[in-house]
A and B are shown apart, each in its own frame.
Chain A
Amino acid sequence: MGSEGTSTRNLKGLLLIGPPLAVMVCLLLYPAGVSIVQTLQETAADGSVSWSLARYHRFFTDPYSVANYVRTVWTTVVTLILLIAICLPIAIYLHFTRSRLAAVVQALALFPMFVPGIIVAYALIRYIGPNGLLQSLLEVVGFNSYSSPYLTPWGPVIGLVWDHMPLTLLILTAGMAKVSQEAIEAARDVGAGYVVIFHRIILPLMVESLLVVMALNVISLFGSFVIPYMLGPASPEMMGPYMLRTFSEVRQPDFAAAQAVITFLTCSVFGILYVVMLTRKQDV
């Protein structure tokens, strides 16, 4: 490579990233840009085009749409909290244990990665649904007041936690690699308890991983479709099913596009956070 001039190298570099960039621009950025612009345009009967925020005004003044948006935010926040509450202890356990049980736990936690969402949804209907396996098992041990979360707001939360566990756990276990055994032992030597170790050593080292977990999960949870569609209530619904329904069943593609832009803007806050995290890491 040394004999090649800088310009040739630059050209080769451009050639290398050119095709994927071209595909992205042609198939993703351009059509997305066109539809974003169209949500801001109003075509009059005579064909003249004017700029207008009417669709966004409609969205935020329509109590039904706002209720769907709020439900999406609620589902995302609750699912995210549950995901971290479940996966962080598992990640810590996996980091400090080298037993066969740890391998089993890890395999079980990663298993959902290989199961498609629609299968999970139907399996969960049978398991947590009314007269399902869970209810039967609970009745065997004498618990008779089970109320199924199927078709309630908790249905999608349970399904989404299951679905997003592997990714969360992978990121958190990777983050735990920064926590060294020596640091923990040193802290123990000076008398630190579990709470202090978690609060003063593990948590500060994990902040970055937790932010990545938050960014990636929010983006994926906010736009999720199959699980809220299958397990959730008819109303309020999450943005994913609402957008599709507005597009194909209510046949208002322009309003569906406005809903998509609102969803996209909400998610892009977390997308930017993720990109900032990545670039900051490279600077170090």
Chain B
Amino acid sequence: MKRREFLASAAAAAAAIAISPRLAFSADGAVEVIVGSDQNVADFWSNVVVPALQQELPDLVVNVTVSDGNSGMMALADRALAALKTKSDPQVDVMEAFNPRNTVGAIDAGLWVDFSKASMSNYAKLNTLAIDTNFGLPYRGSQVVLAYDSNKVQTPPKTWEELTAWIKATPGQFIYNRPDKGGSGGNFVRRAIHEANGRDPSAFTASNFSKEKADAMLPPAWEILKDLAPSLYQGGSYTAGNTPSLQLLVSGVVSMVPTWSDQALSGLKSGELPSHIKLAQLQDLAFVGGFAYCTIPTNATNIEAATKLANVLISPAVQEQIVDQIAGFPSIEWSYLSDEIRTANADIIPKSIPAFPDGEWEAAVNDGWYRNVAPAIARN
């Protein structure tokens, strides 16, 4: 073959691959689990959850894939909803860390399995605090807490008032991340919003958003945060994520940051966070936390195996591993876990986990913070 002909046919072949419709690779009966969290959670599924089910079903094949964060999960749910309407394969069986409320109309359309009616033997063990809807199965929780350097802070603040008084009394020693770049800073901002609205988390629900409401309820929180800004690190800097905040705490630049309980606990366990870093929670109203939910589309190809997987997920054995390996809170009652695990975690067992809705409220918070709080920096 002449070189030019070869090039021509190679180019044509490449183009044919590029423009032919996407091939379905999941036709072999494998259960497709799409993980909306990070790789550490996907590893947990591959190493703990799936083997636990394979004891019962040794021939089962499960593919665990990490998606591209929440927007990736949203796109996947949209695809599943479209597949429901056209009666085709959604190409996903279990979605990890996805709130079924996020896809508008999907619950009404019957896209998600109702776990309360799925005859799962472990469902009755769930902690009622954790259940948001019957269509999302809570399986691990975490909450934002304060991490502080105990060499510099002897008595951590117990209330929002004490916290803000401490921030102002020790300028430059506190930082939180931009609310859209990670939940630790995001939920610090939400705590300010709760503070500005009578410490009543129930004032914000997924369905009560309106622009007028947001314009009335959010600006007082922006005032609180603007008032704090000059006392933050560098007179009002905000890190770009949960990890950079902890980096500043560990390197001794600041003495206190908000952080996710699971991230801090696993950091302390592995030694990434030195032992003089301690954790505290506000007692007047805790920081927002939440549970990661799993959803199963009703049109999933392997719905039976997927439901079995969900049942194993909330079994006491796997739930203990969630506390032990990824430092999460169990979604079933603590009383089902071993005494050993219960006593070891007595300090962090939450008494309440306030929530804040996603969706339009979240978008309003993200936009409002950038427009009102962030530009208050007077520098360069």
- Compute how far the CA of A192 lies from the CA of B238 in the bound complex, rounded to whole angstroms: 54
- Compute how far the CA of A213 lies from the CA of B121 in the bound complex, rounded to whole angstroms: 66
- Compute how far the CA of A131 lies from the CA of B363 in the bound complex, rounded to whole angstroms: 35
Contact present for A249 and B180 (CB under 8 Å): yes
Q: Annotate B333-374 by CB proximity to A: 1 below 8 A, 0 otherwise.
A: 000000000000000000000000000101100110011001
- Compute how far the CA of A229 lies from the CA of B237 in the bound complex, rounded to whole angstroms: 13
Contact present for A250 and B11 (CB under 8 Å): no
Instruction: Decide: A64 near B7, CB < 8 A? Known: A19-B12, A22-B19, A236-B375.
Output: no
Contact present for B4 and A131 (CB under 8 Å): no
Smallest distance from the beta carbon of A246 to chain B beta carbons, Å? 8
How many chain A residues touch B (Cβ–Cβ < 8 Å)? 33
Select which of A12, A153, A234, A251 is within 8 A of B380 by beta carbon: A153
B14 within 8 A of A: yes
Question: Which residues from 1 to 32 on chain B have a C-beta closer than 8 Å to any C-beta of chain A?
Answer: 4, 7-8, 11-12, 14-15, 18-19
- Compute how far the CA of A141 lies from the CA of B15 in the bound complex, rounded to whole angstroms: 60
Chain A residues touching B, majority SS:
helix
> What residues of chain A lie closer than 8 Å to B11, measured between beta carbons?
15-16, 18-20
> What residues of chain B lie closer than 8 Å to A249, measured between beta carbons?
180, 362-363, 366-367
Contact present for B19 and A151 (CB under 8 Å): no
Contact present for A23 and B237 (CB under 8 Å): no
Smallest distance from the beta carbon of A25 to chain B beta carbons, Å? 10
A-B contact count (CB 8 A): 86
Smallest distance from the beta carbon of A27 to chain B beta carbons, Å? 8
- Compute how far the CA of A129 lies from the CA of B247 in the bound complex, rounded to whole angstroms: 10
Contact present for B240 and A230 (CB under 8 Å): yes
Question: Which residues from 1 to 40 on chain A have a C-beta closer than 8 Å to any C-beta of chain B?
Answer: 12, 15-16, 18-20, 22-23, 26-27
- Compute how far the CA of A152 lies from the CA of B370 in the bound complex, rounded to whole angstroms: 16
Q: Annotate A222-265 by CB proximity to B: 1 below 8 A, 0 otherwise.
A: 00000001100111110000000100111100000000000000
Instruction: Decide: A129 near B251, CB < 8 A? Known: A23-B18, A151-B238.
Output: yes
Closest residue of chain B to A68, judged by CB? Answer: B370
B234 within 8 A of A: yes
Contact present for B380 and A248 (CB under 8 Å): no
> What residues of chain B lie closer than 8 Å to A233, measured between beta carbons?
237-238, 374, 377, 379
Closest residue of chain A to B185, judged by CB? Answer: A234
- Compute how far the CA of A22 lies from the CA of B12 in the bound complex, rounded to whole angstroms: 11
Which positions in A face B, CB cutoff 8 Å? 12, 15-16, 18-20, 22-23, 26-27, 64, 67, 125-126, 129-132, 151-153, 229-230, 233-237, 245, 248-251
Which positions in B face A, CB cutoff 8 Å? 4, 7-8, 11-12, 14-15, 18-19, 71, 178, 180, 234, 237-240, 244, 247-248, 251-253, 360, 362-363, 366-367, 370-371, 374-375, 377, 379-380
